[in-house]
Structure formats: structure tokens, C-alpha cells
């Protein structure tokens, strides 16, 4: 039998850690738990988990700092667990390299679903390609090349970063501020309408019909989401 895949649960609230552990063990994972940031980093180094569930508010070293350090070590997928009041930190969570987040109170089942989804995504990422609608739109993250109907499309670095930020989270709505933080960072030109300009250009480059976007969907009053299905 193949060795069980280990998931590291970092959570100082014992009840939450126990519930997550039992749900994940039922799914066939081996689960280790850490109750503070120091222990989390120690166990991450010694166990090489396939995924980390990481509470944001932790004793000793904050979840954000733990996430940054894990990210500096490699590509272990990280799902942040955040309390409602900390929602403002979600953006920070994704910007520091978390792959996904779940807001407390959550149903353990929802967390398990996210774990499976992220592991699938991480598995696909080993091929370093995101494919949509068959091969209609392909994003090769190794060479940072985008193909539209098999033909390479020339994108600026900002356009590429925006597209990847959206395409790796299909269906999730991002505000313009989030997109600036996630994708533009140092390149931020000072006002959020810059996102709209990038989106307009991106649509002309990658959409089947820029006037009726299939991938880069405007969410009125909110921002943008990626609409493509991975089939
Ligand atoms: Ca906590």
C-alpha cells in the first residue's frame, strides 16, 4: 500500500484541530497537528506534508509569517483558516502566497472539499500548465506563455500576472484592490482603473469575443472573476 499523504493542521484551538483531523483521517490522510507557529515550521520541515491548513491567528509566530516561510522553502500548498473579523487579512493571506482560504466558522466538509480541489490543482501544476475549454486557452507557467487556440499570445508581465491570478481561482471574485496586490505589486501605477485597462487589453488578446468575455468576467460593483471551466 502506498504511504499515506500527510497533511499538517496548524491551529491553536484544539476543538477545531480535532474536527479537521478526524475528517481528514476519514479521507485517508495522515494528519499531524501543530498548535503554534514555531511547531508548524518545525513539522513542515520534518514531515514534508502534501498540504498545510494554516490558522491565521497563532501563538509565537503568526500564520502570515509561517506562510511566508513555508513559501520561501517551496511549493507546499497552503489553505489559510481565517476568522470572519480577519477578512481584511484574506487579501494579505493570498498576497503572501497562500493558495486558498476558508473563513470560520466553516463546515469540515467544505474544508475537505477545498483540500481535494487544491491537491488536484497542485497535481496539475506539476505539468505547469492550466488548460481551459479543452486546449482553447492554455497557460504554461514554466515558460510564462499563453496560447489561444494553439497560437502563442504576447502578454505584458502585468497582463500575464493578472491572468494567472484569476485563472488559478476560477469562479472567485477579486476586487480591483486584490488584483493590484496579487498581480501588480511593485508595478502598481497608482489607481485601480489601471486594472480595467489591463483587462480590456487582455480580453482583446485572449477572448474568443472581447465584447462578450468568456474568461475575464466583470462582476459589477465588485471586480473580476475567471469564468472558464477546466475541462
Ligand atoms: Ca487561532
Residue 97 burial (C-beta neighbours within 10 Å; 0-12, 13-18, 19+): middle
Cα(189) to centroid(ligand 1), Å: 36
The domain over range 129-226 is classified in CATH as 1.10.510.10: no
Cα(174) to centroid(ligand 1), Å: 25
For residue 125, the model assigns a pLDDT of 47
Q: How confident is the model at residue 190 (pLDDT cuts 50, 70, 90)?
A: low
Cα(10) to centroid(ligand 1), Å: 9
Question: Comparing C-alpha atoms, which of 224, 214, 228, 220 is closest to residue 177?
Answer: 224
Kindly state the average pLDDT of the residues 143-162: 86
Cα(126) to centroid(ligand 1), Å: 32
| CA diameter of the chain | 55
Residue 103 has φ and ψ, to the nearest 5°, of: -95, 135
Cα(56) to centroid(ligand 1), Å: 6
Cα(220) to centroid(ligand 1), Å: 34
DSSP 85: G
Question: How, if at all, do strands 30-34 and 137-140 pair?
Answer: unpaired
Query: pLDDT tens across 99-147, in order?
Result: 888 888 888 988 998 898 888 777 654 446 788 887 789 898 777 889 9
Cα(57) to centroid(ligand 1), Å: 4
Asked which of 17-21, 61-65, 72-76, 183-187 is least confident by mean pLDDT, the reply is: 183-187
Sheet arrangement for strand 223-226: 173-175, 223-226, 216-219
Query: pLDDT tens across 21-56, in order?
Result: 999 999 889 999 999 999 999 999 999 899 999 999
Cα(149) to centroid(ligand 1), Å: 46
Cα(122) to centroid(ligand 1), Å: 26
Residue 49 burial (C-beta neighbours within 10 Å; 0-12, 13-18, 19+): buried
**How far apart, in whole angstroms, are the C-alpha atoms of residue 49 and residue 71?**
13
Kindly state the average pLDDT of the residues 4-28: 94
Omega of the bond leading into 163 within 30 degrees of 0 (cis): no
Cα(146) to centroid(ligand 1), Å: 40
Cα(26) to centroid(ligand 1), Å: 24
Cα(63) to centroid(ligand 1), Å: 9
For residue 14, the model assigns a pLDDT of 95
For residue 1, the model assigns a pLDDT of 42
Using a cut of 0.75, tell me whether the model's pTM lies above it. Answer: no
Q: At a CB cut-off of 8 Å and minimum separation 6, what does 126 contact?
A: none
Dihedral over alpha carbons 3, 113, 117, 62 (to 10 degrees): -80
Domain boundaries along the sequence of the chain: 6-123, 129-226
**How far apart, in whole angstroms, are the C-alpha atoms of residue 19 and residue 188?**
41
Mean of all residue pLDDT scores within the chain: 85
**How far apart, in whole angstroms, are the C-alpha atoms of residue 212 and residue 199?**
13
For residue 231, the model assigns a pLDDT of 38
Q: What is the CATH number of domain 6-123?
A: 3.40.50.2300
Kindly state the average pLDDT of the residues 171-190: 76
Amino acid at each position: 500500500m502506498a504511504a499515506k499523504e500527510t497533511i499538517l493542521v496548524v491551529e491553536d484551538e484544539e476543538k477545531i484541530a480535532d474536527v479537521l483531523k478526524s475528517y481528514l483521517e476519514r479521507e485517508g490522510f495522515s494528519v499531524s497537528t501543530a498548535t503554534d507557529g514555531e511547531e508548524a515550521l518545525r513539522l513542515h520541515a520534518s514531515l514534508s506534508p502534501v498540504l498545510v491548513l494554516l490558522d491565521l491567528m497563532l501563538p509565537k509566530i503568526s500564520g502570515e509569517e509561517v506562510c511566508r516561510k513555508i513559501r520561501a522553502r517551496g511549493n507546499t500548498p497552503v489553505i489559510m483558516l481565517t476568522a470572519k473579523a480577519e477578512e481584511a487579512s484574506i487579501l494579505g493571506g493570498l498576497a503572501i502566497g497562500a493558495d486558498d482560504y476558508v473563513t470560520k466558522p466553516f463546515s469540515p466538509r467544505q474544508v475537505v472539499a477545498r483540500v481535494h480541489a487544491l491537491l488536484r490543482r497542485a497535481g496539475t501544476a506539476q505539468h505547469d500548465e492550466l488548460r481551459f475549454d479543452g486546449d482553447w486557452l492554455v497557460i504554461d507557467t514554466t515558460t510564462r506563455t499563453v496560447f489561444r487556440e494553439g497560437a502563442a499570445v504576447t502578454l505584458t508581465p502585468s497582463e500575464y500576472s493578472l491572468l494567472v491570478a484569476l485563472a488559478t481561482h476560477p469562479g472567485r471574485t477579486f476586487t480591483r484592490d486584490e488584483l493590484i496586490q496579487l498581480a501588480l505589486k511593485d508595478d502598481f501605477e497608482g489607481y485601480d482603473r489601471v486594472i480595467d485597462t489591463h483587462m480590456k487589453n487582455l480580453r482583446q488578446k485572449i477572448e474568443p469575443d472581447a465584447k462578450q468575455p468568456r474568461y475575464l468576467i466583470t462582476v459589477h460593483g465588485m471586480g473580476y472573476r475567471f469564468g472558464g471551466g477546466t475541462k
